Amino acid sequence: SLIMGMGTITEIFKDEQILKIDHQPIEVLNWPRMEMKFSTNHENAQIDFDALNIGDHIEFKMQKVDGKYLIIEVSSMVREGGQ
């Protein structure tokens, strides 16, 4: 089952397919707000790294794979700076 989250991108590691996100609390996992790295390296992931920028406010969907939560979908909410 997919888990939803919201947050702000703070770093992008395109080559490693990793996003660092300052995410809001994720109640279903009992996670407080924190900044953490998420891998997107999964066959189900559909993420266009070229469309993402540091500072983007995003909604994301995670899937648990081998004990880790991977982001498989990202949708942009609002982009700061108008770029």
Q: Each residue of 28-51: pLDDT tens digit?
A: 999 999 999 999 998 889 899 999
Q: Residue 34: what residue type?
A: M
31 Cβ neighbours under 8 A, 6+ residues apart: 23, 25
Please give the order of strands across the beta sheet that includes 68-78.
34-39, 18-23, 3-13, 57-65, 68-78
Model confidence pTM above 0.95: no
pLDDT band at 83; cut points 50, 70, 90: very low
Per residue in 4-37, pLDDT (tens digit) is: 999 999 999 999 999 999 999 999 999 999 999 9
Mean predicted confidence (pLDDT) in 64-73 = 94
